[in-house]
């Protein structure tokens, strides 16, 4: 997952438990570690692969959301990402300081009925990928892992806390009478805040950006990791950052990426139709901020910083 894990309001031994859990998941689900379980699945060459319960659970969640979004969220683009140059951990890629542009992709086509390139045996933990297909679970694994840890901690009697997995946050319990205060960074000036939220209940908050994980490919083009499955190229919408508030961090993570791909106008309409309960905050390429009405169930108040 190649990310920083932070916590708030948790005792020291629980913090270590959280850290250990994320390290364990990364060792299992990273596509960059050659001996990880996911890497072995990605090199199974179309043969049936006997999987652990952890890999099966995450893939089942990814598969469900792939179908739910009609393939707009697509966890089967590992080969595409590698072909664009994202074939190793992000800290090892060639990054750039100034803005460049990717060749303009072909216009997105209407998405037809999807055919999933993976089969899961319903009777035993076996997974089969079509030859040439590679799974990437980076974002959804973060959300799923944090969501699971929140459930376990609450079951163990930890009734309040916050886990931050590289900007994807789960928060639960009380934070005093004023609620939880959270900030969303400005994608253009990460040391500054662009939105301040005051939560009134527990929530899951995922933020995705096309400006954060960028690299130059072998043709010296600028690429980012939000891939439009219709073009197999980095998305080119008017949004550079999307934040989703939900009850589940896996859902928030997935729909933040979908919103980035579709853009502010089409994406907001799509989410209002499919997921009207999600809180939405988008930042356009001109720096303007757009929000959805469903922030109210999550927030006492929020403010956009000019």
Kindly provide the residue ranges of all beta strands, DSSP E only, lying in 154-213, ordered along the sequence.
161-165, 168-172, 180-185, 193-199, 203-209
The 10s digit of each residue's pLDDT in 184-206 is 999 999 999 999 999 999 999 99
Q: How far apart are CA 76 and CA 279, in angstroms?
A: 27
* 55 has a pLDDT exceeding 70: yes
Q: For position 174, what pLDDT does the model report? A: 76
More confident residue, 8 or 176: 8
Q: Where are the domains of the chain?
A: 174-306
Do the strands 5-8 and 289-291 form a parallel or antiparallel pair, or are they unpaired? Answer: unpaired
Question: Which range among 54-63, 91-100, 286-295 shows the weakest confidence by mean pLDDT?
Answer: 91-100
User: Which DSSP category does 189 fall into?
Assistant: S
Is the CB of residue 7 less than 8 Å from the CB of residue 164? yes
- Give me the mean pLDDT over the 259-288 stretch: 97
* 222 has a pLDDT exceeding 80: yes
* 239 has a pLDDT exceeding 60: yes
User: Which DSSP category does 91 fall into?
Assistant: G
Total residue count of the chain as it appears in this document = 306
Q: Distance between terminal CA atoms of the chain?
A: 32
Beta bridge partners of 171: 162, 203
Is the CB of residue 18 less than 8 Å from the CB of residue 11? no
Q: How many CA atoms lie within 13 A of 85 on its CB side?
A: 21
The 10s digit of each residue's pLDDT in 73-86 is 999 999 999 998 88
- The whole-model pTM stands at 0.91
Fold classification of 174-306 is T-fold (3.10.520)
- Give me the mean pLDDT over the 273-289 stretch: 97
């Amino acid at each position: 997952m190649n990310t920083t894990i932070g916590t708030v309001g948790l005792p020291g031994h629980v913090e270590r438990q959280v850290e250990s859990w994320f390290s364990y998941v990364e060792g299992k689900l990273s596509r960059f570690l050659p001996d990880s379980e996911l890497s072995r699945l990605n090199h199974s060459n179309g043969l049936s692969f006997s999987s652990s319960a952890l890999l099966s659970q995450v893939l089942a969640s990814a598969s469900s959301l792939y179908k739910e979004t009609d393939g707009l969220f697509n966890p089967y683009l590992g080969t595409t990402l590698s072909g664009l140059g994202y074939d190793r951990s992000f800290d090892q890629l060639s990054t750039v300081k100034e803005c460049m542009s990717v060749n303009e992709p072909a216009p997105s086509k209407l998405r037809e009925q999807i055919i999933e390139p993976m089969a899961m045996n319903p009777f035993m933990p076996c997974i089969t990928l079509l030859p040439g297909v590679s799974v990437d679970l980076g974002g959804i694994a973060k959300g799923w892992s944090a969501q699971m840890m929140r459930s376990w901690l609450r079951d163990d009697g930890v009734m309040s806390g916050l886990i931050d997995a590289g900007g994807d946050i789960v928060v639960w319990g009380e934070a005093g009478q004023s609620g939880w205060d959270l900030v969303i960074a400005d994608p253009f000036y990460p040391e500054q805040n662009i939105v301040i939220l005051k939560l009134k209940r527990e929530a899951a908050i995922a933020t995705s950006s096309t400006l954060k994980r960028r690299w130059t490919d072998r043709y010296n083009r600028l690429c980012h990791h939000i891939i439009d499955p219709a073009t197999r190229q980095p998305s080119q919408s008017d949004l550079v950052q999307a934040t989703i508030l939900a009850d589940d961090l896996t859902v928030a993570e997935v729909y933040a990426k979908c919103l980035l791909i579709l853009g502010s106008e089409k994406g907001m309409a799509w989410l209002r139709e499919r997921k009207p309960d999600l809180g939405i905050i988008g930042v356009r390429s001109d720096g303007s901020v757009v929000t959805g009405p469903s922030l109210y169930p999550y927030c006492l108040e929020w403010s956009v910083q000019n």
